[in-house]
Amino acid sequence: MTVVAIANQKGGVGKTTTAISLSAALAEKGQRILLLDLDPQANATSGIGIEPDSEGSMYYPLLGDATIQEKIIPTRLENLSIVPSGMDLAGVEIELARRDDHLTALRQLLNELKEQASYDYVILDTPPSLGVLMTSALAAADEILIPLQCEWFGLEGLAKIVHVIEQIRESGAAPELKLEGILMTMFDGRTNLSRQVVEEVSNYFPEQLYENVIPRTIRIGEAPSHGITIFEHDPTGSGSRSYRAVAEEFLIRHSFVGEPIA
């Protein structure tokens, strides 16, 4: 079981959309997926058609009063389960911050889940901030996938989160944490800006940059409002084709045997 955090402290970059769409695309390809919604806004939960549920969130497991297994529910999609989120999860930030093990609490819970070998991948949808929930998610992950909007401000955010990854490694909480990939989102091939931003990222992170990009399309934005995935909303559109291609690339990258990506 590999734990992948979908992370970017900047909002509006396609983070939750990527968490939902990658999870659904991997499940479609036969992978056993658990989507773990760690954002109190619960957009991944509602975006996949499930009512946000504070009682069913990670609030109590993170405080040691329940297990992850108790909070897992199936979705209507084959091979895809979810731990939903709810507003109460915002309160866990304060309570976790008081504990000495706030960086490792989630990792310990996920290690217990790994022992059961019930899933191939756990996808963590993280909050758009650098608070306790985000850092706990990074410390619990085996690797990080960063969705990055094709704008210059996105590059500033990339530098910040790469720095946070380095800090998590150095803290000893997750010394083997790796940046698995950078996925460019909201790409508009008609503009020089999108191409220039992709080129800039390629210069600094050539191995981590995904070859496939996610286009700017209204259909991707519409799907969550209906509580369905892009594959259900627009099965043959550019958004569906792109996320399926990303899932294929993801699996190819994970079949690589040798030195891990730095």
**pLDDT tens digits along 17-47:** 999 999 999 999 999 999 999 999 999 999 9
**pLDDT tens digits along 157-189:** 888 889 999 999 998 888 889 999 999 998 887
Q: What distance in Å separates the CA atoms of residue 243 and residue 158, rounded to the nearest whole number?
A: 21
**pLDDT tens digits along 218-232:** 999 899 989 999 999
Q: What percent of the chain has pLDDT over 90?
A: 61
**pLDDT tens digits along 143-165:** 999 999 988 877 878 888 899 99
User: How high is the mean pLDDT of the chain?
Assistant: 90
Q: How far is CA 143 from the centre of its chain?
A: 10
Residue ranges and CATH numbers for the domains of the chain are: 2-254 (3.40.50.300)
Give the helix/strand (H/E) hosting 183: strand 178-185
pLDDT category of residue 103 using cuts at 50, 70 and 90: confident
pLDDT category of residue 210 using cuts at 50, 70 and 90: very high
Give the 3-state secondary structure percentages of the chain, helix then strand then coil, rounded to 5.
45, 15, 40
- Between residues 257 and 81, which one has the greater pLDDT? 81
Q: What distance in Å separates the CA atoms of residue 197 and residue 73, rounded to the nearest whole number?
A: 39
Farthest-apart Cα atoms in the chain, separation: 52
Whether the predicted pLDDT of 257 surpasses 60? no
Q: What distance in Å separates the CA atoms of residue 178 and residue 250, rounded to the nearest whole number?
A: 15
Q: Which of 7, 2, 17 is nearest to 163 (CA)?
A: 7
Q: Please write down the long-range contacts of 215-218, taking CB distance under 8 Å and 24 or more positions apart.
A: 215/186, 215/187, 215/188, 215/189, 215/239, 215/242, 216/150, 216/186, 216/187, 216/188
Q: Is 37 left (phi over 0), alpha (psi -120 to 50) or beta?
A: beta
**pLDDT tens digits along 119-128:** 999 999 999 8
Whether the predicted pLDDT of 193 surpasses 90? no
Q: What is the DSSP letter of 259?
A: S
Whether the predicted pLDDT of 256 surpasses 60? no
Alpha helices in 52-209 (DSSP H): 59-62, 92-97, 105-116, 132-140, 152-171, 192-204
Structure tokens at 209: 């940059």
Q: What distance in Å separates the CA atoms of residue 211 and residue 213, rounded to the nearest whole number?
A: 7
pLDDT of residue 188: 85
Q: Which of 225, 218, 187, 254 is nearest to 22 (CA)?
A: 254
